[in-house]
C-alpha cells in the first residue's frame, strides 16, 4: 500500500514541479522524497496519537476547502514546508505554496481511489499502524471485522460517526 501511495506522490510531484517555476526540475526526486515522508509521518502521527476522528474526517472530506481546514492536513503541510526549506533548499514562500497545493492533491487522489474501491481503507490504516488496523477497529475483540463491530462502534458513539463521514458520497 505504501508503494502505491508513494507512486501517487511521485506522479503528482513531478507534474506539480514541472509547472512550478520556483522549483528546478532536477529537484523532483528530492521534493517527492520529502513530500512522501511528510505525508506518511503526518498520517502515522495522527494514528499513533489516537486522532482517528480527524483522520477519518479527512478521508471523508468531499472538497479541498474542508480538507485544508483539517488539523492533520495543516500539520502535514507545515512539516513539508519546513522539510523543503531545510533539506531541499527552497525558500519559504515556494515551499509553502508547493506544500499547500500538493498535499490536498495527493489526499484527494488517495480518497478517490478508496471511494472507488481501488484502495481499501483498512489496508491504508493497516499500513499506517504496522498492520494493526483490524485490532484498532475490532470492537468486540474477536479478531475479525464484522457488522457486530460496526454496531458496537455506533453504540459507543464515536467511530460510527467517523466512518459514516468516510462512506458518504
What does the pLDDT look like over 46-83, one tens digit per residue?
877 777 677 777 776 656 667 888 899 999 999 999 99
Note the pLDDT of residue 140: 61
Q: Greater confidence, 44 or 154?
A: 44
Share of the chain above pLDDT 70, in %: 67
Given a cut of 50, is residue 165 above it in pLDDT?
A: no
d(CA 131, CA 144): 13
Domain assignments of the chain as residue spans, ordered by start: 2-131
| DSSP element (H, E) containing 46 | helix 28-48
Note the pLDDT of residue 69: 85
The residue-averaged pLDDT of 80-102 equals 96
3-state secondary structure 121-169: HHHHHHHHHCCCHHHHHCCCCCCCCCHHHHHHHHHHCCHHHHHHHHHCC
Q: Is 119 helix (H, G, I), strand (E, B) or coil?
A: coil
- The pLDDT-based confidence of 149 (bands split at 50, 70, 90) is low
Note the pLDDT of residue 91: 95
Note the pLDDT of residue 169: 41
Q: Greater confidence, 8 or 151?
A: 8
Query: What is the grid cell recorded at 3?
Result: 508503494
d(CA 55, CA 46): 7
Given a cut of 90, is residue 102 above it in pLDDT?
A: yes
Given a cut of 90, is residue 127 above it in pLDDT?
A: no
CA atoms within 13 A on the CB side of 68: 11
Please give the distance of CA 123 from its chain centroid, rounded to a whole number. Answer: 13
Question: Computed from CA positions of residues 127, 130, 134, 136, in that sequence, does the dihedral angle turn out positive or negative?
Answer: negative
Note the pLDDT of residue 116: 85
Amino acid at each position: 500500500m505504501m508503494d502505491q501511495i508513494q507512486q501517487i506522490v511521485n506522479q503528482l510531484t513531478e507534474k506539480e514541479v514541472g509547472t512550478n517555476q520556483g522549483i528546478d526540475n532536477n529537484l523532483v526526486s528530492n521534493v517527492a522524497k520529502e513530500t512522501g515522508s511528510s505525508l506518511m509521518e503526518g498520517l502515522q502521527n495522527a494514528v499513533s496519537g489516537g486522532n482517528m476522528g480527524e483522520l477519518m474526517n479527512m478521508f471523508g472530506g468531499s472538497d479541498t476547502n474542508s480538507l485544508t481546514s483539517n488539523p492533520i492536513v495543516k500539520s502535514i503541510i507545515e512539516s513539508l514546508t519546513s522539510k523543503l526549506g531545510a533539506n531541499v533548499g527552497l525558500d519559504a514562500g515556494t515551499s509553502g505554496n508547493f506544500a499547500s497545493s500538493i498535499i490536498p492533491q495527493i489526499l484527494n487522489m488517495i480518497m478517490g481511489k478508496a471511494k472507488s474501491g481501488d484502495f481499501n481503507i483498512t489496508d491504508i490504516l493497516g499500513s499506517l499502524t504496522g498492520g494493526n488496523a483490524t485490532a484498532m477497529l475490532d470492537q468486540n475483540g474477536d479478531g475479525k471485522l464484522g457488522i457486530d463491530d460496526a454496531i458496537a462502534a455506533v453504540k459507543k458513539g464515536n467511530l460510527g460517526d467517523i466512518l459514516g463521514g468516510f462512506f458518504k458520497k
